[in-house]
């Protein structure tokens, strides 16, 4: 009897430690599943933190783990409920369910494969019979509506190789021109070269320490920043994917590019586009795409941009590139107001309208007419060929 | 009944308060972890929520120097880490020409610490006792500079080609702040603890106002804070931070406001410029709006 109980107490601690270990490591895995950036070293560290803070004070444990495992504001906001879901057993199940039902949890792969069999053409969107009508070239004005669509877009074609190469080639040329372009600020600042002392001294060694040859410090080059605002509402559905691909290529090639999509509200997609893993990128976009191909409220979306991002993103070297057909269900005055405010802060606004390439196009839609006074360039671009024609104009405006 | 750990956290919270910073308990817990593990802490949050103050309070509390690196676009190694004092080096070369010592020892002399200008980051790791290093608005620098920081923040060392690797004598307490102007790289985030500083809730803000403006009547302080909290709920471009609240409170005191009555509202209208700082927002704050807000306080 005695030996038995003795054995039991002996073996209990390691089991407990194991259980604890799996609990914390499991938690880190759970966070990762929910889109957190958690590495395996973080998991070990989480264990360490837990031991340090003591595991019996749930508040302290929560705060300490949060400081360790979060690395950005959106993770910070979601941490608490994930912590509850994992460590407070009764909540757990219910919460997982609400997450899957709501906009939170990643859409499962099963969903994707189901679409795979039903959809063939690259530009079609799931579950809309009217796509065929639009493919005829009549972009649907009736698609204009105030409601956000609850549908998620299918992003499988985002990484399709064939067109991607062609776009990449065009953008490579564009970026090269952009790099070589001399901005006004640089032209004006031609005077006042600075001596590079380190290199001058190196050069002076050959002359016995007399700095005969001077080396000049090279100026840091400042490049324009590009902010892309893509309209992904229903009336644009024919072109949205093309421009998404364009955005993905541009973000890969240039560092200072910031992309947003908008329909009835505005969503930042720069992070998702830049994800080096194409599958993760797709999943993240799928998450963000709630409302894809719904109604349009351009004015409200741009206003949201002004409110939340303009202060941080727009400066005197920013070029804002709006891609939209201008069919706006919102108030044109709101659009005008938003553009006026935006124009005051940035270098230029370029509006790419996929419809404008057509013969006989006039910017007659209410939204377009309202926007015109504030644009530096309004031009058509609906496919690669027209885009290549347009890019030199865009460059000349940027200059 | 608190655990030991919790009492440590409470103790730190109280000490911070004594040094003029009112922190939530969760922030105190994070700071305790920062102090213990000497891992950099990344603070994010809107402008004016008191991120920079955290570093200042920590420096006062641990009675060490605060070394501040204000980041800006185009910040480079020369102004952040170190630079050779070239003018002095050139002079020294001239003077050493008459010297008979062998060349190698002359060279050692020229590239010695005497001719090294320490910029904030190098200074932070060579100072004892360990200072508090505040890297302010890290999001304003470019990605290239972030990469320089990685070595410093993970190993607390700086390599200078001519001198070798300089290791930190003691690990400084590093606080980074960011307003989210630019997304910071994951590599940098991974090396830091993280805390998001939100706008303060009513209780915290009231405590701050009481601490910073002790001469203000209790009732007025309460009304001021309620008013500001209500303003933050509005749909405006630039929400007032704590600094704005304090400015406004000081302005009201100076204008002799004691309560939010008819005359008080006149004074509020006069002093709104301390609270609302863009033209569009100011246009929105008409008298009826202010009256409505003040009535609710």
Q: Two tokens at B286? A: 């008409």
**A6 Rama sector, left if φ>0, alpha if ψ -120 to 50, beta otherwise:** alpha
Q: Is the ipTM of this complex over 0.90?
A: no
Strands (E) in A132-252, as ranges, are: 225-231
| pTM as predicted | 0.62
Distance CA(A364)–CA(A242), nearest Å, equals 24
Judged by a CB distance cut-off of 8 A, whether residue A209 touches chain B is yes
B85 in Cβ contact with B119 (< 8 Å): no
The answer to whether B143 faces chain A, any CB pair under 8 Å, is: yes
With bands split at pLDDT 50, 70 and 90, how would you rate the model's confidence at A44? confident
Q: Does A39 touch chain B (CB under 8 A)?
A: yes
Is B194 in Cβ contact with A67 (below 8 Å)? yes
Which of A40, A44, A59, A63 best tests the B interface by mutation, with the highest count of B CBs <10 A? A63
CB A224 within 8 A of CB A183: yes
The yes-or-no verdict on residue A120 having pLDDT over 70 is no
Q: Provide the 3-class DSSP secondary structure of residue A261.
A: strand
Residue pairs spanning A and B at CB distance below 8 A? 96
Chain A residues whose beta carbon lies within 8 Å of the beta carbon of residue B192: 71
Predicted confidence at residue A399, as pLDDT, reads 67
Q: What pLDDT shows up at residue A325? A: 85
- In chain A, residues with a C-beta closer than 8 Å to the C-beta of B34 are 67
Query: How many alpha carbons lie under 13 Å from residue B40 in its C-beta half-sphere?
Result: 26
Section A247-264 average pLDDT: 83
A55 touches chain B (CB under 8 A): no
Query: Percentage of chain A surpassing pLDDT 90?
Result: 2
Q: What is the per-residue pLDDT for A129?
A: 36
Helix segments in B19-142, DSSP class H: 25-37, 51-61, 77-80, 86-96, 103-110, 120-126
Cross-chain CB nearest to B3 (options A54, A68, A198): A54
Distance from CA of B19 to the nearest CA of A (A): 23
pLDDT, residue A185, reads: 59
How is chain B split among helix, strand and coil, in percent rounded to 5? 55, 15, 35
Rounded Cα–Cα distance for residues B278 and A288 (Å): 32
Distance CA A133, CA A143 (A): 12
- CB nearest to A71's CB, from B3, B94, B194: B194
Do residue B143 and residue A255 have CB atoms under 8 angstroms apart? yes
Query: Taking residues A149-170, what's their average pLDDT?
Result: 59
**Cβ atoms of residues A356 and A375 within 8 Å:** no
Closest residue on chain B to A268 (Cα): B183
Q: Does any CB of chain A come closer than 8 Å to the CB of residue B111?
A: no
**For residue B195, which residues of chain A lie inside 8 Å, CB to CB?**
67, 76
Mutate to test the interface with B, among A28, A31, A55, A60 (most CBs of B within 10 A): A60
Contact criterion met (CB below 8 Å) for A316 and A188: no
**8-state DSSP, A149:** P
Count of Cβ atoms closer than 10 Å to residue A172 Cβ = 12
Residue with tokens 């605060």: B66
**pLDDT score at A124:** 32
DSSP H or E run through B267:
helix B262-271
Region A156-172: mean pLDDT is: 67
Give CA–CA dist B271/A336, Å, rounded: 31
pLDDT of residue B58: 92
pLDDT digits (tens, 9 = 90+) for A3-25: 444 444 444 456 777 777 777 87
Contact at CB, A39 and B190, closer than 8 angstroms? yes
Interchain contact A270–B (C-beta under 8 A): yes
Residue B84 to residue A71, Cβ atoms within 8 A: no
Contact B89 A77 (CB under 8 A): no
Of the candidates B28, B133, B34, B9, the residue with the CA atom closest to the CA atom of residue B81: B133
Confidence (pLDDT) at B173: 93
Straight-line distance from the first to the last Cα atom of chain A, in angstroms, rounded to the nearest whole number: 89
- A256 → chain B, closest CA residue: B182
Q: B44 contacts in A (CB within 8 Å)?
A: 72-73, 76
Average pLDDT over chain A, rounded to an integer: 71
Closest residue in B to A222 (Cα) is B74
As a whole number of angstroms, the distance between CA A235 and CA A354 comes to 11
C-alpha separations of B119 from A87, B111, B133, B136 in Å: 46, 16, 12, 15
Alpha carbon distance B68, B80 (integer Å): 10
Give mean pLDDT, residues A166-194.
69
Choose among B33, B29, B80, B28: nearest CA to B54.
Answer: B28
Q: What is the pLDDT of residue A148?
A: 46
Judged on CB neighbours under 10 Å (0-12, 13-18, 19+), A355 is: buried
pLDDT tens digits, one per residue of A79-95: 888 888 787 755 444 44
How would DSSP label each residue in A218-253? PPPPP--EEEEEEE-SGGGHHHHHHHHHHHHHHHHH
Q: How far apart are CA A377 and CA A302, in angstroms?
A: 17
- What mean pLDDT do residues A243-254 have? 81
Chain B nearest-CA distance from A268, in A, is: 12
Residue A157 has pLDDT above 80, yes or no: no
Q: Which is higher by pLDDT, B296 or A258?
A: A258
- Spell out which residues of chain A touch residue B41, defining contact as CB-CB under 8 Å: 67
CA distance A237 to A55: 52
Structure tokens belonging to residue B263: 């005359």
B78-83: list long-range contacts, CB under 8 Å, 24+ apart.
B78/B119, B79/B119, B80/B119, B80/B120, B80/B121, B80/B145, B80/B148, B81/B119, B81/B121, B81/B122, B81/B148, B81/B158, B82/B116, B82/B117, B82/B118, B82/B119, B82/B122, B82/B158, B82/B160, B83/B116, B83/B117, B83/B119
Q: Is some CB atom of chain A closer than 8 A to the CB atom of B186?
A: yes
Q: Taking 50 as the threshold, does the pLDDT of residue A224 lie above it?
A: yes
Q: Does A277 touch chain B (CB under 8 A)?
A: no
Interface test with A, best of B89, B143, B194, B197 (most A CBs within 10 A): B194
From B243's Cα to the closest Cα of chain A, the distance in A is 19
- In angstroms, what is the C-alpha Rg of chain B? 24
3-class DSSP state of B192: coil
Q: How far is A305 from chain B (nearest CA, A)?
A: 11
Q: Which residues of chain B have pLDDT under 70?
A: 1-3, 181
CA distance B71 to B143: 12
Asked if the C-beta of B107 comes within 8 angstroms of chain A's C-beta atoms, the answer is: no
Give the closest of A73, A197, A312 to B44, CB-based. A73
Which chain A residue is nearest to residue B96, measuring alpha carbons? A209
Spatial CB neighbours of A94, under 8 Å, sequence gap ≥ 6: none
- Collapsed DSSP state (helix, strand, coil) of residue B178: strand
Structure tokens at B103: 């060349």
A68–B29 CB contact, under 8 Å: no
Q: By the 8 A CB rule, do B69 and B135 touch?
A: yes
Give the model's confidence band at A191: pLDDT under 50 very low, under 70 low, under 90 confident, else very high. Answer: low
Q: Are B232 and B240 in contact (CB under 8 A)?
A: yes
Q: Looking at the complex, does the CB of residue A181 fall below 8 Å from at least one CB of chain B? A: no
| Alpha carbon distances (Å) from A238 to A329, A356, B177 | 18, 14, 43
User: Are the Cβ atoms of A71 and B179 closer than 8 angstroms?
Assistant: no
SS3 B76: coil
DSSP code at position A55: S
Pair A257, A250: CB distance under 8 Å: yes
pLDDT band at A357 (very low <50, low <70, confident <90, very high): confident
Cβ–Cβ of B84/A64 closer than 8 Å? no
The reply to whether residue B192 touches residue A71, judged by beta carbons under 8 angstroms, is yes
Give pLDDT tens digits for A288-331.
Answer: 666 666 677 888 889 889 888 888 888 888 889 998 888 888 88
A220: nearest CB among B74, B195, B280: B74
Residues in chain B: 297
**Count of CB atoms situated within 10 Å of the CB of B70:** 13
């Amino acid at each position: 009897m005695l030996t038995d109980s003795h054995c039991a107490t002996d073996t209990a601690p390691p089991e407990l430690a194991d259980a604890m270990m799996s609990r914390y490591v499991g938690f880190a895995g759970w966070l990762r599943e929910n889109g957190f950036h958690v590495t395996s070293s973080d998991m070990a560290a989480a264990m360490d933190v837990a031991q340090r803070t003591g595991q019996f004070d749930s508040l302290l444990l929560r705060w300490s783990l949060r400081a360790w495992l979060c690395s950005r504001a959106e993770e910070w906001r979601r941490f608490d409920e994930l912590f509850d879901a994992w460590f407070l057993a009764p909540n757990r199940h219910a919460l997982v369910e609400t997450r899957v039902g709501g906009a939170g949890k990643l859409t499962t792969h099963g969903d994707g494969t189901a679409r795979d069999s039903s959809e063939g053409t690259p530009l079609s969107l799931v579950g809309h019979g009217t796509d065929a009508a639009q493919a005829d070239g009549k972009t649907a004005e009736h698609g204009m509506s105030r409601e956000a669509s609850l549908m998620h877009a299918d992003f499988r074609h985002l990484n399709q190789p064939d067109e991607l190469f062609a776009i990449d080639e065009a953008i490579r040329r564009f970026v090269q021109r952009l790099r070589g372009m001399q901005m006004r600020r640089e032209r004006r600042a031609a005077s006042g070269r600075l001596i590079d002392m380190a290199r001058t001294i190196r050069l002076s060694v050959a002359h016995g320490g007399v700095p005969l040859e001077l080396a000049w410090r090279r100026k840091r080059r400042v490049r324009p920043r590009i902010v892309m605002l893509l309209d992904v509402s229903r009336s644009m559905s024919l072109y949205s994917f093309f421009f998404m691909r364009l955005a993905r290529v541009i973000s890969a090639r240039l560092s200072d590019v910031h992309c947003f999509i908008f329909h009835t509200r505005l969503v930042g997609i720069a992070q998702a586009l830049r994800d080096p893993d194409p599958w993760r990128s797709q999943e993240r976009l799928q998450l963000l795409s709630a409302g894809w191909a719904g109604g349009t409220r351009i004015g409200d979306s741009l206003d949201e941009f002004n409110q939340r991002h303009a202060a941080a993103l727009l400066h005197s070297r920013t070029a804002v590139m709006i891609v939209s057909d201008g069919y706006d269900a919102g108030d044109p005055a709101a659009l005008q107001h938003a553009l006026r405010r935006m124009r005051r802060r940035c270098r230029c606004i370029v509006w790419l309208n996929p419809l404008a390439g057509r013969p006989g196009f006039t910017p007659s839609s209410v939204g377009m007419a309202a926007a015109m006074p504030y644009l530096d360039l309004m031009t058509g671009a609906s496919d690669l060929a027209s885009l290549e024609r347009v890019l030199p104009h865009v460059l000349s405006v940027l200059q | 009944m608190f655990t030991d750990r919790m009492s440590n956290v409470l103790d730190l919270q109280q000490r911070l308060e004594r040094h003029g910073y009112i922190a939530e308990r969760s922030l105190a817990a994070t700071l305790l972890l920062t102090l213990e593990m000497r891992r950099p802490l990344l603070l994010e949050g809107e402008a004016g929520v008191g991120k920079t103050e955290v570093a200042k309070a920590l420096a006062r509390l641990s009675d060490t120097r605060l070394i501040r690196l204000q980041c800006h676009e185009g910040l480079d190694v020369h102004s952040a880490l170190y630079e050779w004092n070239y003018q002095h080096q050139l002079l020294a070369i001239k003077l050493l020409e008459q010297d008979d010592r062998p060349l190698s020892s002359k060279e050692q002399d020229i590239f010695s610490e005497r001719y090294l200008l320490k910029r904030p980051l190098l200074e932070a790791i060579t100072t004892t006792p360990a200072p508090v290093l505040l890297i302010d608005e890290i999001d304003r620098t470019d990605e290239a500079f972030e990469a320089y920081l990685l070595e410093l923040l993970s190993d607390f060392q700086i390599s200078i080609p001519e001198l070798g690797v300089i290791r930190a004598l003691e690990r400084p307490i590093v606080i980074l702040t960011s307003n989210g102007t630019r997304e910071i790289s994951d590599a940098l985030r991974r090396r830091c603890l993280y805390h998001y500083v939100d706008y303060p809730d009513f209780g915290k803000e009231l405590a701050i106002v009481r601490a910073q403006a002790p001469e203000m009547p209790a009732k007025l302080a309460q009304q001021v804070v309620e008013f500001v909290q209500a303003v933050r709920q509005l749909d405006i471009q630039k929400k007032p931070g704590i600094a704005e609240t304090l400015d406004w409170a000081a302005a009201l005191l100076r204008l002799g406001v004691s309560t939010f009555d008819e005359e008080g509202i006149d004074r509020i209208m006069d002093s709104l410029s301390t609270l609302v700082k863009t033209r569009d927002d100011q246009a929105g704050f008409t008298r009826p709006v202010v009256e409505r807000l003040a009535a609710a306080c």
